[in-house]
Amino acid sequence: MLRQGLRTLVEDYSHLQVVVEASNGVEAIDAVPQLRSDVVGMDNMPQMNGIEATSRIKEEFLRRP
């Protein structure tokens, strides 16, 4: 329900677009390599919570030069 609400809010802005949704943290991590996203929204999800998934995404995909 939260995901649907956020999607609805984002879709109200013509310059924003939802490019993928994930039902758990593992799916979110798996989706990142395919995305060219400026923002990732996380919540408390099953299998891996949003904090853990975000930490892993930062470690793996936001490497500093």
Query: Whole-model pTM?
Result: 0.71
Res 52: pLDDT? 92
Q: Determine, yes or no, domain membership for 43.
A: yes
Please list, in sequence order, all residues whose beta carbon lies within 8 angstroms of the beta carbon of residue 50, skipping any fewer than 6 positions away.
25, 28, 42, 43, 44
Provide the domain count of the chain: 1
Say what the pLDDT of residue 64 is.
57
In a domain, 2, yes or no: no
Q: What is the pLDDT of residue 65?
A: 55
Q: What is the CA radius of gyration of the chain?
A: 12
Task: Convert the pLDDT of each residue in 15-29 to its tens digit.
Answer: 988 888 888 889 988
Asked, for residue 6, whether it belongs to a domain, the answer is no
The answer to whether residue 36 sits within a structural domain is yes
63 within a domain of the structure (yes/no): yes
The model's confidence at residue 9, banded by pLDDT at 50, 70 and 90, is very high
Helix, strand, coil percentages in the chain from 3-state DSSP, rounded to 5? 50, 0, 50
Residue 47 lies in domain? 22-65
Cα dihedral 9→54→25→63 (10° resolution): 120
Give pLDDT tens digits for 31-54.
988 887 778 888 888 888 889 998
